[in-house]
Structure 1
Amino acid sequence: MNELLKHVVEAHGGFQRWYEITVIRAAVSINGPMWGRRGQEGILSQVGITAHVHQQHLVFTDFTAPGLRGVYTPRRVAVEDLDGNVLIERHTPREAYKGQTLASTWDVLHALYFAGYSMWNYLTTPYLLTHPDVTTEELEPWQPSGERWRRLKAVFPPRIATHSAEQIFSYDESGLLRRHDYAPYVMGDRPVAHRTEAHRTISGLVFPSYRYVLPLVDGRLAPDPVITVDLIDITVD
């Protein structure tokens, strides 16, 4: 673990505390014009999340309707009732984005896979970056708006479902995440900047409670977010 990653993990609660927990739960509101463009407006505007920290497994409650849940793993997504009866499912869900364009619409399983892996990544980072097959290196810092942010490049292995193999995380002097750059495959590899705010300490761990995603056009940030994420409540077990 390099020096910057050690600093970041400590700022977010410390490796031992992350290792001890097994589940992160939250109430979340995920919105923004991207969902309407994909034909799924409001699908995640009021849902619960249960994320398993040590495996790529996340469940949305009240997904598409009260009493239903959306189950995400990298190899399978499904909509189930509370008794576990499967209404619809898709295996190898990442393959379902092949050939799509910005004008393509999604079904609920497209939305479930994208939101599932995204939120699992967001909630488990920076602990996720300590996995032995995730490689990290510190890049040159930069100074947006007069602040000094340290940058960490991460390269993810194929086994981890995530936006793109290479991603860059920018941290302020205290070690808190301020910006996250990537080019999501499921969006046609178009680059975005993901900003984080309103960090909260929950049971010794630190989470950004508000996130928003800005497209990058010719290297410049678009003025308005295409996705927003409000974490209304967070608990850890």
Structure 2
Amino acid sequence: MNPILGEALDAHGGMERWRRFDTVRATLVSGGDLFIIKGIPQDPTPREMTASLHREHASVAPFGALDQHSDFTPDRVAIEKADGTVVAERTEPRKAFQGHVLETPWDPLDRAYFNGYALWTYLTTPFLLAMPEVEVEEIEPWREQGQEWRGLRATFPSTFAGHSTRQDFYFGPDRLLRRHDYHVDIAGGFAAAQYVYDIVEVDGIRLPTRRRAYRRDGALRPIKSQVMVAMDLSDIRFS
């Protein structure tokens, strides 16, 4: 295992503790320019997020109506009622984004797919980097706030649903996550730099509760005037 990754895993609670849990739940409030550009502005209603920890599966409720929730896996995304009735679904959902640019509108299933993979990624970082078939290598550190943040580049397998095949993660001197860089392939491939804040400890696992994803310029600097996605988490529970 890459030594920086090993240190990051330990700093966030350790693999032994992580393996004790199967599911995480949290209250989510989200927004940002991306949803406005896509024609689906987010309201400030708190939602319940549920994610499996060891496979890509996530759900958000309510979704579209009080008695509905989303259901995401890489191969299928759906909107379902509480009794399991399928309102809408799409298999091989990634294919629906072919030809999309940043301004291409999203339908509810597009949003459910994005919400599902993005939130699953955020709630399982950095532990997802230790999953089989994920390749990790050290990259040049990023210097900010008078600190050197060590960088890891992850290359994900084709079966993985995420922002992009390659994503960069930066960890502070304490090896806690500071920043996450990627391209949003399903939205024209724009470059993003996501900063994380307000790390809490829940059941021995440490994770950020506030995320802000900015457009990124050619020098890897965040464009602070363009907050593409904002996510705040609270009431986090592992089980």
Paired position in structure 2 for 1:182: 182
Distance 2:229 2:212 in 1: 6
Question: Which aligned pairs between 1:208-227 and structure 2 lie closer than 5 A?
Answer: 208-219=208-219, 220-224=221-225, 225-227=227-229
The structure whose residues are more often strand, as a share, is 2
Paired position in structure 1 for 2:230: 228
For the 8 Å contact 2:102–2:190, the answer to whether it is kept is no
The TM-score with structure 1 as length reference comes to 0.96
How far the C-alpha of 1:172 sits from its partner, in A, is 0.3
How far the C-alpha of 1:45 sits from its partner, in A, is 4.3
Q: Which segment drifts farther, 114-123 or 213-222?
A: 213-222
How far the C-alpha of 1:153 sits from its partner, in A, is 1.0
Question: Which aligned pairs between 1:56-71 and structure 2 lie closer than 5 A?
Answer: 56-71=56-71
Paired position in structure 2 for 1:137: 137
- Tell me the C-alpha RMSD between the 2 structures: 1.2
1:163 aligns with 2:160: no
How far the C-alpha of 1:218 sits from its partner, in A, is 3.1
Distance 2:159 2:201 in 1: 30
Distance 1:34 1:147 in 2: 30
Distance 1:99 1:172 in 2: 37
Distance 2:108 2:91 in 1: 14
Distance 1:155 1:217 in 2: 22
Question: Which aligned pairs between 1:1-237 and structure 2 lie closer than 5 A?
Answer: 1-42=1-42, 45-219=45-219, 220-224=221-225, 225-237=227-239
Distance 1:196 1:182 in 2: 14
For the 8 Å contact 2:79–2:86, the answer to whether it is kept is yes
The 3-state SS of whatever aligns with 2:190 is coil
Identity of counterpart residues, as a percentage?
Answer: 36
Q: Which amino acid aligns with 2:176?
A: L
Distance 2:212 2:170 in 1: 15
Distance 1:100 1:63 in 2: 23
Q: How many residues align?
A: 237
Provide runs of 4+ in structure 1 moved above 3 Å: none
How far the C-alpha of 1:67 sits from its partner, in A, is 1.4
Q: Which runs of 5+ in 1 are unaligned?
A: none
Which deviations, in whole Å up to 9, do the C-alpha atoms of 1:186-217 show, x marking residues without a partner? 12111110110000000000110000100013
